[in-house]
Structure 1
Amino acid sequence: MTIQLRKNTSLSSDNKKTFKAIIVLNEMINGTHQFSSNAYGDDSVLQPLFAEMVAKGYVISRDSIYQVSSKGRGIFDTFMKRYTEYLKVYDVFSFVDLEKGEFAFDRYFDFDTDDAWFDYTNDERFDDLRIAVALFKKVDPAEIVFMSFINENRFDTNVSGWQNNLMSDSAWNEIEEICNTAIKPDEVGEDAMVDMINQGSELMIRLMEEEQKQNNNNSNNSGGTTTVVEEETVEYYQPYYDPYYISPIWLVPLFLW
Structure 2
Amino acid sequence: MAKPAGDAMATLPSWTEPGLVWAPSVLQTDDDGFVLSYTSLDSRSGLQCVGAARASSPLGPFVDGSDDPFVCQRELGGTIDASPFVDDDGTPYLLFKNDGNCCDITTQLWTQQLSADGMTLVGDAIALLETTEDWEGPLIEGPSMTTLGDSYWLLYSAYDWNSADYSVGLAQCESPVGPCTKRDGPWLANHGDASGPGGAEDFTDADGRRWMLYHAWVTDKIGYETGGERSLFAVPLDLRSGEPVARGLSEDSAD
* TM-score interval (norm. to shorter): under 0.3
* TM-score normalized by the length of structure 1: 0.23
Structure having the larger proportion of residues in strand: 2
* TM-score normalized by the length of structure 2: 0.24
| Structure number, greater radius of gyration | 1
Structure having the larger proportion of residues in helix: 1
